[in-house]
Amino acid sequence: MINNEQKRIIPNEVLLPEVARLISEGHTVTLIIRGNSMNPFLVDRRDRIVVGPFTETDLQRGAVVLARESLGRIVFHRIIHRNGQELTLLGDGNLKVTEQANVADVMGIMIAAIRKDKEYPCSGRTWQRYSFWWMKLMPIRRWLLAIFRRI
C-alpha cells in the first residue's frame, strides 16, 4: 500500500516520453487519468487507462490515442477523423476544440479503461458501445456534458 508520502507526481513532459519508449519496446503502461477532457467515461484521478503498442491500421475513427498534437502538447484523445496520415483528435469531454496530429506522432493506443476498479477492454462490447453512442451523440453532447457536470 502506498501512503501519501510515497506518492510522487511526475510532470507529463517527463513521464509521457518515457511511456512512449516503453510502448515502443512492446510494453503496456497503466496511467491514472489527469484532467477532464475525457469525461464522462474517464474521470480525473479516479480512472486509469492501459496504453500499449499499435499498428497503423489500429488508428481509425473511434480509437483513443496518446499523441503529440501539432502544437507540441501531448494529449490523450479520441480520433474523430483520419485523412491519410493526418488525424483529427477530440476529447470526449470537449465540444469543439480539436487537435491535429500525424500518425507518426502517436505514442500509444488505449487498450483498456479501468473505471471504478472495473476493467473495460477497448475491444469489448461495453467499451465499443460507449464509444459508438458517444460519437453518434455529438450534436447533443453539450447538454449531456452539462448534466454530467452538475451530478
Considering the domain boundaries, does residue 6 fall inside one? no
For 70-104, the pLDDT digits (tens) are 999 999 999 999 999 999 999 998 888 899 999 99
Domain total in the chain: 1
Domain CATH for 36: 2.10.109.10
Considering the domain boundaries, does residue 107 fall inside one? yes
Considering the domain boundaries, does residue 70 fall inside one? yes
For residues 136-150, average pLDDT: 78
Considering the domain boundaries, does residue 7 fall inside one? no
The H-or-E segment that residue 32 falls in is strand 29-32
> pTM for this one?
0.86
Considering the domain boundaries, does residue 1 fall inside one? no
For 16-65, the pLDDT digits (tens) are 889 999 999 999 999 999 998 998 889 999 999 999 999 999 999 999 99
Considering the domain boundaries, does residue 151 fall inside one? no
Is 80 exceeded by the pLDDT of residue 8?
Answer: no
Q: Which residues contact 142 (CB under 8 A, 6 or more apart)?
A: 95
Whole-number Å distance between alpha carbons of 45 and 34: 6
Considering the domain boundaries, does residue 5 fall inside one? no
Q: Which residues contact 14 (CB under 8 A, 6 or more apart)?
A: none
Is 90 exceeded by the pLDDT of residue 112?
Answer: yes
How many other C-beta atoms lie within 10 A of the C-beta of residue 91?
A: 20
Domain that holds residue 93: 12-146
Considering the domain boundaries, does residue 19 fall inside one? yes
Is 90 exceeded by the pLDDT of residue 151?
Answer: no
Q: How confident is the model at residue 6 (pLDDT cuts 50, 70, 90)?
A: low
CB 87 within 8 A of CB 59: yes
Q: How confident is the model at residue 1 (pLDDT cuts 50, 70, 90)?
A: very low
The H-or-E segment that residue 51 falls in is strand 48-52
Whole-number Å distance between alpha carbons of 126 and 149: 23
